[in-house]
Structure 1
Amino acid sequence: MPHVVTQSCCSDGSCVLACPVNCIHPAPGEPGFATAEMLWVDADACVDCGACVTACPVDAILPHTKLNHAQLPFLSLNAEYFDAFPHADRTPLALVHEQRRLDRSGPYRVAVVGAGPAGLYAADELLKHPEIKVDVFDRLPSPHGLVRFGVAPDHQKTKRVQDLFAKIERQRGFRYFLGVEVGNHLTHDELTARYHAVLYTVGAASDKTLGVPGDDLPGSISATDFVGWYNGHPDKQDLQPPLDSERVVLVGNGNVALDCARILALPPHVLETTDIADGPLAALRNSKVREVVVLGRRGPAQAAFTVPELVGLLGEDELNVVVDLGDLTDAQAFGGGSQKERLIEELRHRPVDPALRTIVLRFAAAPTKLVGTDCVSAVDVGRTRLVKHKDGSVSATSTGETEVLETGLVLRAVGYHGLPIKDLPYDEKRGVVPNTSGRVAPGVYVAGWVKRGPNGFIGTNKSDAEETVDAILDDFDAGIIPEPVGTTAGLRSMIRHRQPGMVDLAGWLAIDAEERRRGEAQGRPRVKITDVAESMRIAAEATLPRVARLRRGLPI
Structure 2
Amino acid sequence: MTLHLAIVGSGPAGYYTAEAAQKLNGGDVRIDIIDRLPTPFGLIRAGVAPDHQSIKAVSRRYEKTALTDNVRFAGNVSVGEGGISIDELLGLYDAVVLATGAPTDRPLGIPGEGLPGVLGSAAFVGWYNGHPDFADLAPPLHSESVVVIGNGNVAIDCARIIAKLPEEFEGADIVQHAVDALGASQVKLIRIVGRRGPHQVSFTPKEVGEMGELARATPVVDPAVFPPVEEDDALEPGLRKVVTALRGFAAAGPDPEKPVRVHFDFFLRPVEVLGDGKVEALRLERTRLIDGRAEGTGEMLDIPCGMVISCIGYRTIPIAGVPYDERGGRFVNEEGRISPGLYCVGWARRGPTGTIGTNRPDGFAIADLIAAEITPAGKPGRAGLDPLAAEKGVDIVTFRDWQKIDAAEVARARGSAPREKFVAVDDMMTTARS
Unaligned runs of 5+ in 1: 1-105, 542-556
Residue 150 of structure 2 aligns to which amino acid in structure 1? G
What does the per-residue CA deviation read over 1:210-259, in whole Å, with 9 as the maximum and x for residues that have no partner? 22222221111111110111111100112111011111001111111000
Secondary structure of 2:72's partner?
strand
Per the alignment, do residues 354 and 366 of structure 1 end up closer, same or farther by CA in structure 2, a change over 3 Å counting? farther
Residue 160 of structure 1 aligns to which amino acid in structure 2? A
* Residue 42 of structure 2: aligned partner: 145
Asked if 1:108 is matched to 2:10, the reply is no
Secondary structure of 2:262's partner?
strand
CA-atom RMSD in angstroms: 1.9
The separation in 1 between residues aligned to 2:407 and 2:361, in whole angstroms, is 30
* Residue 432 of structure 1: aligned partner: 330
The separation in 1 between residues aligned to 2:56 and 2:269, in whole angstroms, is 33
Secondary structure of 2:263's partner?
strand
Secondary structure of 2:211's partner?
helix
* Residue 336 of structure 1: aligned partner: 232
The separation in 2 between residues aligned to 1:266 and 1:120, in whole angstroms, is 33
The separation in 2 between residues aligned to 1:334 and 1:215, in whole angstroms, is 40
Unaligned runs of 5+ in 2: none
What does the per-residue CA deviation read over 1:507-549, in whole Å, with 9 as the maximum and x for residues that have no partner? 1000011111111x532111010110010111011xxxxxxxx
What does the per-residue CA deviation read over 1:159-193, in whole Å, with 9 as the maximum and x for residues that have no partner? 11111111111112111110110123322122111
Per the alignment, do residues 495 and 400 of structure 1 end up closer, same or farther by CA in structure 2, a change over 3 Å counting? same
Counterpart among 71, 83, 87 of residue 185 in structure 1 = 83
Per the alignment, do residues 443 and 329 of structure 1 end up closer, same or farther by CA in structure 2, a change over 3 Å counting? closer
Correspondences of 1:245-264 after superposition (within 5 Å)? 245-264=143-162
What does the per-residue CA deviation read over 1:388-426, in whole Å, with 9 as the maximum and x for residues that have no partner? x2xxxx112223323322110011111112232221112
Per the alignment, do residues 490 and 444 of structure 1 end up closer, same or farther by CA in structure 2, a change over 3 Å counting? closer
The separation in 2 between residues aligned to 1:516 and 1:133, in whole angstroms, is 31
Counterpart among 159, 176, 182 of residue 284 in structure 1 = 182
Say whether the 8 Å CA contact 1:225–1:236 is kept in structure 2: yes
Correspondences of 1:27-46 after superposition (within 5 Å)? none
Residue 405 of structure 2 aligns to which amino acid in structure 1? I
Correspondences of 1:41-80 after superposition (within 5 Å)? none
Between 1:140-149 and 1:359-368, the stretch displaced more is 359-368
Asked if 1:523 is matched to 2:425, the reply is no
Say whether the 8 Å CA contact 1:300–1:334 is kept in structure 2: no
The separation in 1 between residues aligned to 2:285 and 2:112, in whole angstroms, is 15
The separation in 1 between residues aligned to 2:41 and 2:381, in whole angstroms, is 27
Per the alignment, do residues 341 and 107 of structure 1 end up closer, same or farther by CA in structure 2, a change over 3 Å counting? same
Cα deviation for residue 195 of structure 1 reads: 1.0
The separation in 1 between residues aligned to 2:406 and 2:192, in whole angstroms, is 35
- Percent identity (aligned): 38
The separation in 2 between residues aligned to 1:343 and 1:531, in whole angstroms, is 40
Counterpart among 31, 56, 61 of residue 134 in structure 1 = 31
The separation in 1 between residues aligned to 2:351 and 2:220, in whole angstroms, is 32
Secondary structure of 1:397's partner?
strand
Residue 420 of structure 2 aligns to which amino acid in structure 1? V
What does the per-residue CA deviation read over 1:359-396, in whole Å, with 9 as the maximum and x for residues that have no partner? 11111122222111110111123222222x2xxxx112
Per the alignment, do residues 262 and 474 of structure 1 end up closer, same or farther by CA in structure 2, a change over 3 Å counting? same
Residue 407 of structure 2 aligns to which amino acid in structure 1? A
| Over 4 Å off, 4+ runs | 314-318, 484-487
* Residue 275 of structure 1: aligned partner: 173
Cα deviation for residue 487 of structure 1 reads: 4.8
- Which one has more relative contact order, counting CA pairs under 8 Å at least 6 apart? 2
Secondary structure of 1:359's partner?
strand
* Residue 362 of structure 1: aligned partner: 265
* Residue 489 of structure 1: aligned partner: 383
Query: What TM-score results when the alignment is normalised by the length of structure 2?
Result: 0.92
Counterpart among 500, 503, 506 of residue 400 in structure 2 = 506
Cα deviation for residue 469 of structure 1 reads: 0.9
Say whether the 8 Å CA contact 1:252–1:414 is kept in structure 2: yes
The separation in 2 between residues aligned to 1:140 and 1:161, in whole angstroms, is 19
* Residue 319 of structure 2: aligned partner: 421
Per the alignment, do residues 508 and 329 of structure 1 end up closer, same or farther by CA in structure 2, a change over 3 Å counting? closer
Which protein is bigger by CA-based radius of gyration? 1
Say whether the 8 Å CA contact 1:208–1:417 is kept in structure 2: yes
* Residue 231 of structure 1: aligned partner: 129
Per the alignment, do residues 329 and 260 of structure 1 end up closer, same or farther by CA in structure 2, a change over 3 Å counting? closer
What does the per-residue CA deviation read over 1:405-457, in whole Å, with 9 as the maximum and x for residues that have no partner? 21100111111122322211122221222222212223111101110011011
Per the alignment, do residues 535 and 497 of structure 1 end up closer, same or farther by CA in structure 2, a change over 3 Å counting? farther
Secondary structure of 2:299's partner?
strand
What does the per-residue CA deviation read over 1:9-65, in whole Å, with 9 as the maximum and x for residues that have no partner? xxxxxxxxxxxxxxxxxxxxxxxxxxxxxxxxxxxxxxxxxxxxxxxxxxxxxxxxx
Say whether the 8 Å CA contact 2:92–2:384 is kept in structure 1: no
Say whether the 8 Å CA contact 2:215–2:258 is kept in structure 1: no
Asked if 1:371 is matched to 2:291, the reply is no
Asked if 1:120 is matched to 2:15, the reply is yes
Asked if 1:536 is matched to 2:432, the reply is no
Say whether the 8 Å CA contact 2:198–2:225 is kept in structure 1: no
Say whether the 8 Å CA contact 1:194–1:484 is kept in structure 2: no
Secondary structure of 2:283's partner?
strand
Query: What TM-score results when the alignment is normalised by the length of structure 1?
Result: 0.73
